[in-house]
């Protein structure tokens, strides 16, 4: 599965703790992240993380493009609901794309733990069916 990891500045420590705690699950998937979040996750977990631009510089939109192409399976986005974000329209657009394309989106630690356990149990295998249909359509 392709998993996007995004965290606002005040939530990066939570993302690091989360990825360390669940390295045993995440290491079996392809990880993508916005700039600083990806760097910190890679350094903390020693996992390979494809890094996009930072969120305000277009990283959210790069992940959104993958969602629109049906190339992202899960988004874990630790948002800071108490701090205004200069790129809030990009954040809203990313969340909207998750809804449009039926991409599981966890925006807090509680939801992320449910999603990660579902990944561990294979509950998102329906995404593999979506990918196969996409590949067959491209032939």
Point out the catalytic residue in the list 60, 71, 73, 99.
60
The pLDDT value recorded for residue 123 is 86
How much of the chain exceeds pLDDT 90, in percent? 76
Q: What is the CATH T-level fold of the domain 2-137, as seen in this structure?
A: Rossmann fold (3.40.50)
Percent of the chain residues topping a pLDDT of 70? 99
Query: Where do the domains of the chain lie?
Result: 2-137
pLDDT tens per residue across span 24-58: 999 999 999 999 999 999 999 999 999 999 988 89
pTM of this structure: 0.91
* Contacts for 15 with CB less than 8 Å, ≥ 6 apart: 5, 7, 37, 40, 41, 76, 78
Is 60 noted as a catalytic residue in this protein?
yes
């Amino acid at each position: 599965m392709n998993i996007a990891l995004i965290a606002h500045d005040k939530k990066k420590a939570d993302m690091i703790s989360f990825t360390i705690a669940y390295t045993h699950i995440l290491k079996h998937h392809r990880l993508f992240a916005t700039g600083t979040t990806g760097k910190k996750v890679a350094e903390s977990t020693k996992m390979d993380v494809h890094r996009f631009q930072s969120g305000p510089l277009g990283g959210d939109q790069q992940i959104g493009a993958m969602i629109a192409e049906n190339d992202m399976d899960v988004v874990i986005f630790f948002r800071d609901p108490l701090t205004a974000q200069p790129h809030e329209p990009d954040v809203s657009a990313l969340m909207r794309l998750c809804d449009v394309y039926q991409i599981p989106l966890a925006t807090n630690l509680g939801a992320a733990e449910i999603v990660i356990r579902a990944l561990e149990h294979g509950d998102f295998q329906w995404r593999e069916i979506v990918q196969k249909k996409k590949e067959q359509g491209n032939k």
